[in-house]
């Protein structure tokens, strides 16, 4: 497993790299300290299997690296790390398709537990922050905040389409649709499809 850590704090990179390498066999970790270095690293082979990204990089104030990842297959393999657990940041990132959010202040056990959930196919936000995300004052308007692809999946979900039907209509794999559905449910703060439909109905009534 190849992991790329993108963070402008070398100590953060070294600590996270040591933790991941020591607890998982066959892990190769590369650390870069700027958006420019990250772009160069993404052009090399082998490609990273996972990217741990600090979205607030000094040489990327407009988050252009993150936008590049959002427009590529790498977004499905990106885990956001940040010292700022802003609920708006978390929800926006989840809506864009990242696989989870892990605060830089997290204990090692939480980092490993979160990554284990992600490797198992889940989208992960620490429980304490998940409550913050659900209770945020960000208006519930998925069509406005979700990426275009997730908007398409949401629209089909609200029509009662199954994962297989969505996969056929959008030309996606069943596994990818499952991941997208999980992301939408987490972003909207609901546990299942029924809750999603009910919440959407309440907002549009």
Give the model confidence (pLDDT) of 120-139 as tens digits. 877 788 887 876 665 554 44
CB 138, CB 88: distance < 8 Å: yes
* Helix or strand (DSSP H, E) at 110: helix 108-119
Q: What CATH number has the domain spanning 2-134?
A: 3.40.50.2300
State yes or no: pLDDT of 73 exceeds 90. Answer: no
Name the CATH code of domain 142-204 (choices 1.10.150.390, 2.30.110.10, 1.10.8.640, 1.10.10.10). Answer: 1.10.10.10
Give the model confidence (pLDDT) of 83-115 as tens digits. 877 767 777 777 777 888 999 889 999 999 999
Question: Cα–Cα distance between 43 and 56 in angstroms, integer?
Answer: 21
Residues 6+ apart with CB under 8 A from 205: none
| pTM of structure | 0.70
Cα separations in angstroms, 23 against 19, 50, 73: 6, 16, 26
Give the model confidence (pLDDT) of 192-203 as tens digits. 888 887 777 766
Domain segments of the chain: what residues?
2-134, 142-204
The tokens describing 205, both together, are: 């009534």
């Amino acid at each position: 497993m190849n992991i790329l850590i993108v963070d402008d704090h070398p100590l953060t990179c070294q600590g996270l790299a040591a933790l991941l390498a020591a607890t998982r066999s066959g892990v190769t970790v590369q650390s870069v300290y700027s958006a420019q270095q990250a772009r160069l690293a993404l052009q090399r082979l082998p490609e990273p299997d996972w990217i741990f990204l600090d979205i607030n990089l000094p040489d990327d104030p407009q988050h252009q690296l993150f936008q590049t990842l959002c427009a590529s297959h790498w977004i499905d393999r990106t885990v956001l790390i940040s010292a700022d657990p802003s609920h708006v940041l978390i929800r926006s990132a989840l809506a864009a398709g990242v696989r989870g959010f892990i605060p830089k202040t997290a204990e090692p056990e939480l980092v490993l537990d979160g990554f284990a959930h992600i490797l198992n196919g889940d989208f992960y936000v620490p429980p304490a922050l998940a409550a913050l995300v659900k209770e945020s004052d960000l208006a519930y308007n998925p069509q406005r905040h979700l990426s275009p692809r997730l908007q398409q999946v949401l629209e089909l979900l609200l029509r009662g389409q199954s994962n297989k039907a969505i996969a056929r209509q959008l030309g996606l794999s069943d596994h990818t649709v499952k991941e997208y559905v999980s992301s939408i449910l987490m972003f909207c703060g609901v546990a299942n499809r029924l809750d999603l439909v009910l919440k959407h109905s309440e907002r549009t009534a």
